[in-house]
Amino acid sequence: GGVGRRPGPKVDLYAEYDHKGGRAVPRLLELKTMAFCRTRYRDTDGNYPGRAVGRRADSLPVERMAELIKIDRDFFHTTPGQTGPMQARAQTFCTAGGPAFAALVIGAFGEWSDDLESFVGDLASMGARALQARMGAPSAAQARSTLLWKMRQEIGMCALRGHAKVIIARARLERTGTGTGNGGGTRTDSDDDGNPDEWAEGAYHLRRETRFGIGA
């Protein structure tokens, strides 16, 4: 999400779906994953699982709306307090007076934001009604539970792979200083004096086992 090189908003996802069992509504969705760093995680967050993700989720709609308000001021010359066309259009995606953007946030330890929980739950409910017979589930509730479990696994592994790529990149940077070699030379993964990819792969599998209980 955010604003690109051209003066216009960029949204991660747009979807129309049955929100909380009601009628189909259009939603703007912002997807974010969080790395473990002091910028996002505070020392006191350890006693409150999900607090860091909650903070990020709360800030996302505010950030996106501020970007739209700035575009309105820069290009449509709105004054403070005046609603411009970009802000007005975004507000049409609000549901029950909520924020225009739904924040789908995944934390470094597998935490989910409330909007992500709600979004996946809505999709599971929709899928259960459509796929119950094909799945051979005895009830829609059982089909929903199965779909919810599967989607949690898929989304969790996607986030985990993303974190693993960051670990690999950081390991290469730590080993070579540039990620490409020493003194401008090119290192290969077969160097005998240390392999950052091997270290990162080990970290990847360890994290996978501890977070999801999945063996290598």
**130: enclosing H helix or E strand:** helix 114-135
Least confident of 41-45, 56-60, 159-163, 209-213: 209-213
Radius of gyration of the chain (CA): 22
Cα–Cα distance list, 70 to 101, 111, 118 (Å)? 17, 32, 30
| Residue 174 predicted with pLDDT over 90 | no
What average pLDDT score do residues 130-149 get? Answer: 90
What's the chain's average pLDDT? 78
For residue 215, the model assigns a pLDDT of 44
Pairing of strands 9-10, 13-18: unpaired
The fraction of the chain above a pLDDT of 90, given in percent, is 35
| Secondary structure of 181-194 in HEC code, one letter for each residue | CCCCCCCCCCCCCC
Count the neighbouring beta carbons within 10 Å of the beta carbon of residue 54.
18
Cα–Cα distance list, 54 to 30, 80, 104, 122, 132 (Å)? 14, 29, 10, 20, 33
- Global confidence as pTM: 0.72
For residue 188, the model assigns a pLDDT of 41
Q: What is the dihedral of CA 174, 1, 148, 212, to 10 degrees?
A: 10
- pLDDT grade, residue 211 (50/70/90)? very low
- pLDDT grade, residue 38 (50/70/90)? confident
What average pLDDT score do residues 181-198 get? Answer: 44
Please answer whether residues 106 and 32 qualify as being in contact, where contact means their C-beta atoms are separated by less than 8 angstroms.
yes
- pLDDT grade, residue 99 (50/70/90)? confident
19/56 Cα distance (integer angstroms):
22
152/178 Cα distance (integer angstroms):
36
What average pLDDT score do residues 190-216 get? Answer: 49
Least confident of 30-34, 66-70, 93-97, 196-200: 196-200
What average pLDDT score do residues 47-74 get? Answer: 90
| Residue 94 predicted with pLDDT over 80 | no
163/157 Cα distance (integer angstroms):
10
Q: Smallest Cα–Cα separation from 128: which of 112, 142, 110, 115?
A: 142
| Residue 96 predicted with pLDDT over 70 | no
Please answer whether residues 27 and 19 qualify as being in contact, where contact means their C-beta atoms are separated by less than 8 angstroms.
yes
Higher pLDDT, 140 or 201: 140
